[in-house]
Amino acid sequence: MSGWLAMASAILTVPWLILSLSVAGNKNMMVKGVEAAMLAAGTALTVYLLAALRRLLHEGYRFTGADLPLRLLIWVNIIAAGVSIPGLAIPTLEASLDMFSLVLVVILGIVQIIVGIRLLGLSADFQGLWRPYCYLNMGTGFCLAVTVLAPVGMITGAIEDVMLGTIFFQIAALLKNSGT
């Protein structure tokens, strides 16, 4: 299931990015509602995938080297959505939350870089995907931290999701073949 949800997250990223860029500044509450729903769904998917990755690292590899940054990444994603959604719903809040949201994106990027660095400590290979996944994590984090590159970071994040989904599929196939 985690593999399919990672693929769904990757597929939804591009439409969400296009929608967000095309409706920026639109005051229509219906449009804002759709944007808020997509943000909430994207955040839920991200939180689930990060928790599933953390569980995989714990249960499958006894790897805890990325626990703290993964937990921070989960919480920063939740806080960022929790700040952004009311800003979409209440126009008077939007301007005052913009700077805070920008700071959260920078923090999100920095934490994601740390996650990528820490994940390099896992010796598993996953058919050559693990190291590129870790480096892409760092690149995505860099793009988010620089903020003007955030749209590029969203695209690299979608590629990351495809890689993570593939890793989850590989693990599932290994478990199926071993009879577990």
CA distance 94 to 83: 9
Global pTM? 0.88
Which pLDDT score is estimated for 67? Answer: 94
Question: Which residue, among 128, 141, 9, has the nearest Cα to 66 in the 3D structure?
Answer: 141
Residue 117: closest CA among 61, 179, 49, 65 = 65
pLDDT of residue 180: 56
pLDDT in the model for residue 73: 96
Q: What is the pLDDT of residues 71-85, one digit of tens each?
A: 999 999 999 999 888
Q: Determine the pLDDT at residue 6.
A: 93
User: 3-state DSSP helix/strand/coil percent for the chain, to nearest 5?
Assistant: 85, 0, 15
pLDDT tens by residue, 30-44: 877 888 888 899 899
Q: What is the mean pLDDT of each run of 10 residues along the chain (180 residues)?
A: 91 82 74 83 94 93 94 94 83 78 92 96 90 96 94 93 93 78
The amino acid that residue 65 corresponds to is: G
Q: What three-state secondary structure class fits 151?
A: helix
